[in-house]
Amino acid sequence: VSGEFAAIDRLRRALPTPGPGETWIGDDAAVVRAPGGGWLLLAADTLVAGVHADLALTGLDDFGWKAVAVNVSDIAAMGGRPLHALVTVAGPPDTGLDLLYRGIAAAAAAYHCPVVGGDLANAPVLVLTVAVTGTFEGAPLLRSGASPGDLVYVTGPLGLAAAGLRLLKEGKLAPAAALDAHRRPAAEVAAGLAARAAGATAMIDISDGLAADLGHLAEASGVGLALTELPVGDAATLDEALTGGEDYVLAFTAADPARVGEAFAGLPAPICVGRCTDDAATRTIGGRPLPAAGGWEHRWS
């Protein structure tokens, strides 16, 4: 038995290699050359009822919103803008399609990412697959560009989505920010564009938890991480901030804090949580080892 990432790595080796300058598997979105010039971003994500969301705690409209937003978040993590969405619904015939589509349509409108097609199929459980295209101007902004000395930023508080889900499960009153973070996560498109303008060297969205996702960024860049303190969301624990996942805030690295300040004028200021080091084996927070485990990883054989 191996993990999702090992399975992806094995599948990648069975596929052709990317064209010059392109990035296929291994980043938040694939970066391919658009015919006629420029770049295209391609991302796809699947939400399975009962695996990624408990429909007793989350509305079908929220489920639809989330499927679009998490894809747009992968475009945002490349410093890109979304263009179009394809939506495929496989589910039982009695699935509340209209309610589901209310959430899909709301997210598509919010992110200027119209649904232009997709498919409908019968299946024993609800499986919602969204694919999104996007684009960007400038050079590809990947996970792999961070250098020792770069500062590490996050674009918002961490752990809110995990705290929201925990409080819902416990039947307790949860702060609106935590509930929203779980049910209707926001994709940080404006922040991603600002990070690009700030000269960000690497970026990723926090889908699997800060420790896991910053780990991916550090590994791809060949740098270490010395983190200081994290912005822990209201009602969230430090553990939820580190490993809870599904926050969909962005984490990025940049060399020049003045440029970051300028680029984020008018947006919530990103929070510096540490810096990259030249020893790739270093993964610390407050001088202690960063938890290596945690994060969202599906099991595959």
Using CB under 5 A, which of the segments 164-172, 176-184, 200-208, 221-229 binds Mg ion? 200-208
62: contact with Mg ion by CB under 5 A:
no
Nearer to Mg ion, 68 or 235 (CB): 68
Using CB under 5 A, which of the segments 116-124, 170-178, 185-193, 207-215 binds Mg ion? 207-215
23: contact with Mg ion by CB under 5 A:
no
Q: Which residues pair with 41 in a beta bridge?
A: 31, 134
* Sole binder of Mg ion in the list 207, 221, 243, 253 (CB under 5 A): 207
Using CB under 5 A, which of the segments 10-18, 134-142, 206-214, 269-277 binds Mg ion? 206-214
How far is residue 297's CA from residue 114's CA, in Å, rounded to a whole number? 30
In whole angstroms, how close is the CB of 7 to Mg ion at the nearest point? 17
In whole angstroms, how close is the CB of 70 to Mg ion at the nearest point? 8
Six-digit token string for 185 = 């996560």
Phi-psi region of 207 (alpha: psi -120 to 50; beta: other; left: phi over 0): alpha
Nearer to Mg ion, 60 or 81 (CB): 81
Six-digit token string for 240 = 């939820």
Q: How many CB atoms lie within 10 A of CB 12?
A: 12
* Sole binder of Mg ion in the list 27, 28, 240, 247 (CB under 5 A): 28
In whole angstroms, how close is the CB of 4 to Mg ion at the nearest point? 13
Six-digit token string for 245 = 């996942």
Using CB under 5 A, which of the segments 127-135, 203-211, 262-270, 272-280 binds Mg ion? 203-211
Q: How many residues bind Mg ion (CB under 5 A)?
A: 4
Six-digit token string for 289 = 């080892």
Nearer to Mg ion, 28 or 247 (CB): 28
For Mg ion, which residue has the nearest CB? 28
How far is residue 130's CA from residue 114's CA, in Å, rounded to a whole number? 12
Nearer to Mg ion, 167 or 206 (CB): 206
Q: Hey, what amino acid is at 228?
A: T
Nearer to Mg ion, 95 or 155 (CB): 155
Q: Could you tell me which residues come within 8 angstroms of residue 121 by beta carbon, excluding any fewer than 6 positions away?
A: 88, 89, 90
End-to-end CA distance of the chain: 4
* Sole binder of Mg ion in the list 205, 240, 246, 247 (CB under 5 A): 205
Contact present, 76 and 192 (Cβ < 8 Å): yes
How far is residue 160's CA from residue 185's CA, in Å, rounded to a whole number? 10
Helices (H), 170-296: 176-183, 189-197, 210-221, 238-243, 257-263
Six-digit token string for 49 = 């009822």
74: contact with Mg ion by CB under 5 A:
yes
Using CB under 5 A, which of the segments 14-22, 24-32, 158-166, 249-257 binds Mg ion? 24-32
Task: Give residues in contact with Mg ion (CB under 5 A).
Answer: 28, 74, 205, 207
